[in-house]
Amino acid sequence: MTTTTRRARTLAAPPARHDDWRSDALCVEVGAESFFPEGKGEAVRQQVEAAQRVCAACPVRRECGEWALATKQTHGVWGGMSEQQRKYRRSAAGRARSAGQAAASTQAVSA
């Protein structure tokens, strides 16, 4: 007769999902349509400002904004940032990375 020893399996908690913050977002209560302005001019500006007021009180505003930048969201208000604000932030970050790389290569050449 053969005796088989079974090892107890320990199940680790699943890794945290990158979008777990969404369940705590205030926009869930308001409705997504409020964060995707339509129209032109003053009407859009007012819709963006209204969405940004909700974002200002949101407990996961930072996570939302980081996610929107990381995933290159091009439409809507995310993390309190309008489409134009995110575009500027992405381009500013790109310029900063380029400047940092240029400085590093200049230092490497002069060393």
- Which tens digit of pLDDT belongs to each residue from 83-107? 999 999 988 776 676 666 556 655 5
| pLDDT at res. 107 | 58
Q: What is the mean pLDDT of residues 22-28?
A: 91
The answer to whether the predicted template modeling score (pTM) of the entire model surpasses 0.85 is: no
Cβ contacts of 39 within 8 Å, gap of 6 or more = 47
- pLDDT at position 7 is 42
| pLDDT on residue 98 | 62
Q: CA-CA distance, 95 to 93, in Å (whole number)?
A: 5
Q: Long-range contacts made by residues 29-32, C-beta under 8 angstroms, separation at least 24? A: 30/54
Query: Cα 71 from chain centroid?
Result: 7
Tell me the pLDDT tens digit for each residue of 38-88: 999 999 999 999 999 999 999 999 999 999 999 999 999 999 999 999 999
CB contact at 8 A, 67 and 81: no
Does 9 have pLDDT greater than 50? no
Q: Where are the domains positioned within the chain?
A: 21-110
Give the contacts of 58 (CB within 8 A, at least 6 positions apart).
Answer: 25, 26, 27, 64, 80
